[in-house]
């Protein structure tokens, strides 16, 4: 496999630029060490000489999906990889991506932002890491090449567009994928391979349309990073809608300084579909978590160009309206 690898993004410098990250939980660091020491060396392996044959691409897809579920995936879908699904400067010789999702505990995410929710996030990354490693081992054992794309490894693939194409859900206003059953509380990993397989397609379950009238995540976002309107300049989602453009220059510093924040995930009404239905009929049931919001960080764009990701800046012309002293703890539900 030919893979070109430009320099890995320098997270340490980035964190330094925003004043350091605040997750110092022993649990988080232990899981990060386990991923590095136990999982990374298992990303590669020998490919068996004899190939398993399948009677059809449909049979191959069903077989691989069943294996992914056996290894612990909660969601699985398959799509063809396009150049736009790869990080800039990366490439792959494999044709297909198997996208897998691992659910996160709503109960644990109810405590965001906290060490408890940050550890849950890392635990899901570790569990999903096992899924993609075991699936890749299996694919090699039946005679096909493949590559592990770990949820937090040095990935070639952009997991989100891959998962959208593979039908795992729709893009939500908060910039995370929403699955009709799991809501947004799941994380993603992938395995790439060239086993000829039937592919899946993006779904339209009415979620993106629902986001146009629901603004729960926007209301709860303590950094004001989630926009009011779709942005015609932000590109299209897989249904052809203009995207909602998250202001990552506001989100990332808050995220890093407040235990990986993630308030937009448990507050998303797609964790509370009954609530959403009741909202439509005017009857409200409070099922939201109590999100503790600390004083938001100011937007920060001051990291040198070669050490940062591109930051979309939305509503910055409204900066005067952005009140850095905002402190909300409750909402009128």
Chain positions contacting ligand SF4, by CB under 6 A: 172-174, 210-211, 214-217, 221-223, 225-226, 246, 251, 254-255, 261-264, 268-270
The CB density around residue 208, as the number of other CB atoms within 10 Å, is 22
Tell me how far, at minimum, the Cβ of 157 lies from ligand SF4, in Å. Answer: 22
Q: Judged by CB, which is closer to ligand SF4: 55, or 281?
A: 281
Q: Which is nearer to ligand SF4, 31 or 226 (CB)?
A: 226
The least distance separating ligand SF4 from the CB of residue 323, rounded to whole angstroms, comes to: 15
CB of 266 to ligand SF4, least distance (A): 10
User: Measured from the CB of residue 230, what is the shortest distance to ligand SF4 in angstroms?
Assistant: 11
First-last CA distance in the chain: 54
What is the phi/psi pair of residue 189, to 5°?
-145, 175
Cβ contact 119:67 at 8 Å = no
Question: Shortest distance, CB of residue 71 to ligand SF4, whole angstroms?
Answer: 29
138 vs 260, which CB is nearer to ligand SF4? Answer: 260
Q: Is the Cβ of residue 148 or residue 268 nearer to ligand SF4 in the bound state?
A: 268
Cβ distance to ligand SF4 smaller for residue 43 or 279: 279
- Omega prior to 23 cis, within 30 of 0: no
Output 134 or 267, the one with its CB closest to ligand SF4: 267
Least separation in angstroms between CB 211 and ligand SF4? 3
| Minimum CB distance to ligand SF4 smaller for 130 or for 231 | 231
Nearest distance from C-beta of residue 135 to ligand SF4, angstroms: 29
Query: Which is nearer to ligand SF4, 71 or 270 (by Cβ)?
Result: 270
- Min separation Cβ 258 and ligand SF4, Å: 7
Residue 194 to residues 46, 62, 93, 95, Cα–Cα distance (Å): 16, 15, 8, 5
């Amino acid at each position: 496999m030919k893979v070109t690898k430009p320099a890995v993004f320098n997270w340490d410098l980035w964190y330094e630029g925003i004043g350091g990250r605040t997750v110092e939980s022993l649990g988080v660091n232990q899981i990060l060490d386990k991923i590095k020491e136990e999982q990374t060396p298992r990303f590669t392996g020998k490919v068996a000489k004899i190939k398993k044959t399948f009677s059809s691409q449909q049979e191959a897809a069903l077989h691989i999906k069943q294996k992914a579920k056996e290894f612990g995936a909660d969601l699985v879908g398959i799509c063809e990889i396009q150049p736009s699904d790869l990080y800039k400067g990366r490439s792959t010789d494999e044709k297909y991506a198997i996208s897998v999702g691992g659910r996160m505990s709503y109960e644990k995410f109810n405590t965001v932002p906290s060490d408890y929710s940050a550890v849950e996030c890392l635990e899901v990354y570790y569990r999903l890491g096992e899924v993609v490693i075991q699936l890749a081992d299996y694919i090699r054992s039946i005679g096909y090449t493949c590559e592990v794309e770990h949820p937090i490894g040095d990935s070639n693939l952009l997991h989100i567009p891959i998962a959208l194409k593979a039908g795992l859900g729709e893009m939500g206003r908060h910039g995370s994928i929403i699955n009709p059953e799991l809501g947004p509380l799941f994380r993603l990993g992938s395995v790439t391979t060239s086993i000829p397989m039937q592919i899946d397609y993006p779904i339209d379950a009415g979620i993106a349309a629902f986001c146009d009238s629901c603004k729960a995540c926007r209301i709860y976002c303590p950094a004001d990073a989630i926009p009011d309107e779709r942005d015609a300049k932000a590109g299209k989602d897989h249904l052809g809608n203009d995207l909602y453009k998250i202001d990552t220059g506001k989100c990332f510093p808050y995220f890093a300084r407040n235990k990986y924040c993630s308030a937009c995930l448990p507050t998303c009404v797609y964790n509370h579909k009954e609530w959403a239905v009741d909202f439509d009929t005017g009857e409200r049931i409070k099922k939201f978590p109590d999100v503790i919001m600390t004083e938001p960080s100011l937007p920060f764009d001051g990291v040198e160009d070669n050490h940062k990701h591109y930051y979309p800046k939305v509503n910055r012309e409204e900066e005067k309206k952005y009140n850095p002293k905002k402190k909300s703890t409750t909402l009128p539900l």
